[in-house]
Amino acid sequence: MAMTLDDIKACLQAGGFQVANEVALSNGKGTQLRLQNEAIVNSYHTGNFIVQGKNQDAVKKCLGVQPTHVAAAPTPQNGAATKPMLSKVFVVYGHDAAARTELEAMLRRWKLEPLILDQLPSQGQTIIEKLEKYTAEVKFAVVLATPDDEGFPACQENEKKFRARQNVVLELDMMLTLLGRKNVAILMKQQDNMERPSDIQGLLVHPVQGQPAKRCRNSSGKGNGSSGLPDFCG
């Protein structure tokens, strides 16, 4: 269902929803509306839109989108045990394919379902639209920062340090905004030689020496109490 930004705002106003903040999307392809009920509507110049955040079902209904509901699990027959539902975890990564593969395997051992962006269908969406769609399905993210790039201040080449890829920094900011700090685990490989993004100063970063599985293989994968998901590399 295609709607212009004005159509969306008119529907929201008619439905009694108030817009608390309106900003342009970072990719320049549309506008983000943050509502007072904590729902988020991303409107694109193409006419498409996505509803995210809290209390989104009422907003979807207002905009003519069928809310999604989780069907009740069928009662097991003959005392058969049902398989536990996998919790989805969004994985942010750079160019270190080996580290990403080990992290994915570790999450699966913990009975979690890792969402790897390049393994997910695009359906004609831009990278930003794809990120927004799939992050709406998760409540936790793991950011794997690996030394893929090098950088230094202008005219100070002697201060050269490794950096994470720019897409990793961008997606990290998105995860912190959408999920909150308590629901984002940051794994930094070769932390001593890595430049930490300035906007995560003060956040807990888990150092990784070698591959993530080698650093975290002794972890039980038990919940951390706040998100209900594992303490990463405790």
Q: Compute the distance between CA of residue 49 and CA of residue 30 in angstroms, rounded to an integer.
A: 9
183-211, pLDDT tens digit by residue? 888 888 866 677 777 666 656 667 666 55
Burial 60-95 (b: 16+ CB within 10 A, else e): bebbebeeeeeeeeeeeeeeeeeeeeebbbbbbbbe
The mean pLDDT of 83-91, rounded to a whole number, is: 70
Beta bridge mates, 50: 42
pLDDT at 94 over 70: yes
Which pLDDT score is estimated for 224? 47
pLDDT at 226: 45
Specify the 3-state DSSP secondary structure of 206: strand
Q: How far apart are CA 141 and CA 149, in angstroms?
A: 22
Tell me the per-residue pLDDT of 28-71, one tens digit each, with 9 for 90 and over: 888 999 998 888 988 888 888 888 888 888 888 887 765 544 44
Does an H or E element contain 2, and which?
Answer: none
Q: CA 103, CA 173: separation in Å to the nearest integer?
A: 20
> What is the overall mean pLDDT for the chain?
75
DSSP β-bridge partners for residue 113: 88
Name the pLDDT band for 22 (thresholds 50, 70, 90): very high
Contact 91, 107 (CB under 8 A): yes
> What domains, with CATH codes, occur in the chain?
5-62 (3.30.310.10), 87-216 (3.40.50.10140)
Separation of alpha carbons 45 and 40, rounded Å: 17
According to the model, what pLDDT value does residue 75 have?
A: 52
Mean pLDDT of 214-218: 48
Tell whether the model's pLDDT for residue 18 goes beyond 70.
Answer: yes
Answering whether pTM is above 0.85, one says: no
Rounded average pLDDT over 133-143: 87
Can you tell me the mean pLDDT for 120-145?
84
Q: How far apart are CA 36 and CA 12, in angstroms?
A: 11
